[in-house]
Chain A
Amino acid sequence: MNLEVVESEMVVPQHLSFKRVQMSDKYPKGQSRGRHWKHLKQIIQAENYQSCPPNQPNYVNIESPPSIYPSKKFCDITGFEAPYVDPRTNIRYADAEVFKLVRSLPNEYIQRYLALRNAAVVLK
């Protein structure tokens, strides 16, 4: 190991005295362990929140409901108030200047702009 790296102490040591089980014993080298963790979605499913009493708070039921205000329309390109929608690309735009830009953009960029507000066409 290079001197510089050792001096910076950036690497976590392999053996740590305060651990009962060392990392290398827990996850031996060269053994494929498969996936040993669950995504948040799977964790929530396993928690079985449906059977809990509804007044008891849990991770799922504390989530905020949608806003009571009507959602405002923002220009996808500039962020200004957007009174118009381009029917061809579905991009919201503020004025004629922006519209010119929208029409000159390649499709990839249009999709990326739409993806920003989760409105892109996703092909599965």
Chain B
Amino acid sequence: MPFETRPLRQSDYNYFPSTCPIVIDNGGSAFRIGWAGESDPRITFRNVVQRPRHKATGETVTIVGDHDPALMKYFDCTRSFQRSAFDGDVVYQFEIMEYILDYGFERMGADGPEVDHPVLITECACNPVQSRAKLAELLFETYGVPSVAFGVDAAFSYVYNQQLGICDRDGIAICSGFSTSHAFPMVSGEPVFEACCRTNIGGYHVTDYLKQLLSLKYPNHVSSITWEKVEELKMEHCCVALDYFSEAKVFQKGAKEAEEKMRCWQLPWVPPPSEEPPSEEELARKAAIKEKQGQRLREMAAAKRSSRILELENEFQGLEFLLQQLENVQESDIASFLSRTGYVSRQEIESALARVTQSLRKARGEQTEIEEKMEPSTSEKYPLIDLPDNMLSPEQLKEKKRQLFLKTTTEGRQRAKQKKFEEELERERQNQQDEEKRSENPELYLQQLRAKHKELSEKVEQRKRLKTNGSHTNGNNNISGAVGRGERLNAAQRERMRLLTTAAFDRGKGEDTFGAREEDWQLYKLMSKDNDDDDEGPDENEVELNRITCRLQEIDPTFVAKSDVGSVVATEIPRLRPLTKEDFQIILGVERFRCPEVLFQPNMIGIDQAGLDEMAGISIRRLPSKGDRLERSISNSIFLTGGSCLFPGMVERVEAGIRKIRPFELPIRVVRASDPILDAWRGAAAVAAAPCFQMQTFSRQDFYEKGEDWLRRYCLRYTL
């Protein structure tokens, strides 16, 4: 129910005599209170209580019904939510009921020491005595009510409409309320509860179903899909289909007819500000700034380099000077002379000098490859290698070994260099060839290149898939890369599994000769988990693919390299696009009649009970004493009431459903209450105003004398 203005406190309370009953329709969704005999309830509000804390004072306050959301900023609602006194259609939390009654009586203007009026309050059919007794106790002891009466809302609604001539004295009342739906026959204007039947489904379920469906369909807009909003959508757009599946077929085909039946709810959406491309001036300015910054960086680098060169030169000179001085120092004094400088020996100074020279060269940007330039011939450098071992002393032998080692490493290095050089040459040659081909026929060349790229990338992809066991099938399982049910193992994993199982089952079969041969131990290597890749560097396909990709990138502006080939997941990354108006629309299509359908097929939401149309049949079947005449007459006045009967198409659907289960050619008439929501209160007000009402109430004295058990037998007469 959308927010309405708060009801005003009534000022005419004292004009009513104490015999005038107060009539309360205590419904699952709304609470209505007013005076007997009047045409409309004085006060109506949602039957919920919220007890937040007032932020300024810290005290817990009570707010009943709906309220202005703007005022909620003064309250701390973190630990309080809207609570109802109802479990199903039975009042079970009497503390909440008391807050609601407090508010109701207060708004009615009550100000005496007690509420000195008889009270007629509605309850569900066959209300458990405990609930009825507790409510009576609350009214008698807390409010000092002189007498109470209980009645069923649907019966009141029927009686009221009977007065209006909409339905007959005999008929069936079908009431679909907030949390339950009832159907019971009315015989001679009185309800027959022996034949009553209840299905635990109502407007709450319809709204909840719609809310869940919408939030599943539009997970981005869950915050906009509030209970109140969905309730509003339900009341405005939902309807009952005469034949659900044929209606659904229309939508499934996606015909134009279906499009007309769709409703769209546009969420507030602000188009993002469109960005203007920067002007020429702006670009020039930015480029200038960039250039300036680059210049400054270059200058800084140059300054740093020159200062470093200066530093190194100083060090170089100092070391040279030291060496010169060292020439003059006598052999015996060297140690004492050097102790002041921090060097231990002449060699050390020399090596330091060499180092400084090197870095000085480097800093000046000269070539550093000195070793290569002054590479002496092999025999010079490694004089000991060619001599046979028996001619050498042990020290020389050691030296020979060292030289041998040095020689092999240098040679290796040279070979690698040579190879690299050759590869470079090869590539150059290939490029040149490519270039030639290209200049001959650019189109054809490009085509060939693309085809080759595709082929290769497929090959590489496939290899990857085999290796990584295709974890891209769907996100439903297998996120961790583990092998899920029904997924295939790759070859390596299969082999490993086979080895493991043979190892496990081989034991105890004949003589164990494992380990006798050297190769046996290789098994463990094969079994180990990290074995299952054969990554000896990238394979040639990959290398070739990389080359072609580079080439394509160079010459083909339209070419987009697939996100680097090395990555495992091949799923397409959803392209980011600016959000449009359509992204903020909530479309109601099938939902419009799918949600009210739960009233007729509670099975849809997992409630295994009969729907509204069948309930009428069950109710007639349960009727204890029925003649042919009665059966004819009650199906001629099938009466629909309650908030969930407001859906368009309800009457036709109920009629079609009942026709299916009733005998052929029986007259069937289905009518809707004049006002399915308010008629229950109006009927109750009429009953309470009738002269015989005073005889039907249950007084406070009765309560104290006869006790709760008498309430069990209490039964109101509805006939006016």
Q: Which residues of A contact B (CB under 8 A)?
A: 1-2, 4-5, 8-13, 16-21, 23, 26-27, 36-40, 43-44, 46-47, 55-59, 62-69, 71-72, 74, 78-81, 88-89, 94-95, 103-107, 109, 112-113, 116-119
Contact = CB atoms under 8 A, between A and B. Distances in A.
Interface of B: 6, 9, 54, 56-57, 61-64, 67-68, 71, 74, 87-88, 90, 92-95, 98-99, 102-103, 105-106, 110-115, 124-131, 141-144, 193-194, 196-200, 209, 212-213, 216, 245, 248-249, 251-252, 474-476, 590-591, 594, 601-611, 614-615, 618, 624
A68 B130 contact: no
A19 B61 CA distance: 18
A11 B245 contact: no
Contact of A47 (B93, B95, B130, B610): B130
Contact of B57 (A1, A81, A95): A1
28 contacts: A9-B6, A10-B67, A10-B71, A16-B106, A17-B111, A18-B106, A19-B114, A19-B142, A20-B113, A37-B94, A58-B128, A62-B193, A62-B197, A64-B609, A66-B608, A68-B614, A72-B245, A78-B252, A79-B590, A79-B594, A80-B248, A80-B249, A81-B249, A89-B476, A94-B252, A103-B476, A116-B213, A116-B605
Contact of A59 (B63, B67, B126, B209): B126
Nearest to A49: B128
A17 to B, nearest CB: 6
Contacts of A107: 476
Contacts of B605: 116-118
B71 A64 contact: no
A37 B141 contact: no
Contacts of B603: 67, 71-72, 117
Contacts of B74: 2, 4-5
Given A19-B114, A40-B92, A104-B476, 17 more contacts: A8-B71, A12-B64, A16-B105, A18-B105, A19-B102, A20-B113, A21-B142, A39-B92, A43-B92, A55-B624, A56-B194, A63-B200, A67-B611, A68-B614, A74-B604, A88-B476, A89-B476
8 smallest beta-carbon distances between A and B, as pairs:
A118-B606, A40-B87, A79-B594, A71-B603, A18-B110, A79-B590, A12-B62, A57-B193
Q: Chain A binding site: helix, strand, loop or mixed by DSSP?
A: loop
B90 A43 contact: yes
Contacts of A21: 141-142
Given A18-B105, A104-B474, A47 B62 contact: no
B276 to A, nearest CB: 39
A55 B195 CA distance: 10
Contacts of B142: 19-21, 26
Nearest to B49: A12
A63 B618 CA distance: 10
Contacts of A2: 56, 74
B128 A64 contact: no
Contact of B618 (A47, A65, A80): A65
A66 B590 CA distance: 26
A80 B251 contact: yes
Given A1-B54, A8-B71, A62-B125, A67 B609 contact: yes
Contacts, number: 194
A65 B352 CA distance: 102
Contacts of A109: 216
Nearest to A57: B193
A106 B476 contact: yes
A62 B126 contact: yes
Q: Which of the listed residues A43, A46, A68 has the most CB atoms from chain B within 10 Å of its own CB? A: A43
Contacts of A80: 248-249, 251-252, 590
Nearest to A102: B476
Given A12-B102, A13-B106, A74-B604, A43 B128 contact: yes
B128 A63 contact: no
Contact of B245 (A12, A58, A59, A81): A81
A113 B606 CA distance: 12
Contacts of B9: 9
A75 B376 CA distance: 87
A57 B88 contact: no
A50 to B, nearest CB: 14
B209 A116 contact: yes
A66 B606 CA distance: 11
Q: Among A40, A81, A94, which residue has the most Cβ atoms of chain B within 10 A?
A: A40
B474 A103 contact: yes
B609 A119 contact: no
Given A17-B113, A80-B590, A37 B92 contact: yes
B197 A12 contact: no
Contacts of B248: 79-81
Nearest to B215: A112
Contact of B610 (A16, A67, A81, A119): A67
Contacts of B110: 16-18
B113 A113 contact: no
Contact of A65 (B213, B245, B610): B610
Contact of B68 (A10, A36, A113): A10
A67 B606 CA distance: 12
Contacts of A104: 474-476
B63 to A, nearest CB: 5
Given A10-B6, A12-B106, A18 B604 contact: no
B194 A20 contact: no
Nearest to A69: B614
B49 to A, nearest CB: 9
Contacts of A118: 605-607
> Of B111, B249, B252, which is in contact with the most chain A CB atoms at under 10 Å from its CB?
B252
Contacts of B200: 63
A20 to B, nearest CB: 5
A30 B193 CA distance: 45
Given A5-B74, A46-B130, A72 B618 contact: no
- Interface-centre pick from A47, A57, A58, A107 (highest chain B CB count, 10 A): A57
A27 B440 CA distance: 98
Contacts of B193: 57, 62
A26 B98 CA distance: 11
Contacts of A18: 105-106, 110-115, 143-144
B199 A64 contact: yes
Contacts of B212: 112, 116
Best-buried of A16, A36, A89 by chain B (most CB within 10 Å): A16
Given A43-B92, A66-B610, A104-B474, A59 B54 contact: no
B62 A11 contact: yes
A19 B145 CA distance: 10
Contact of A37 (B93, B114, B144, B601): B93
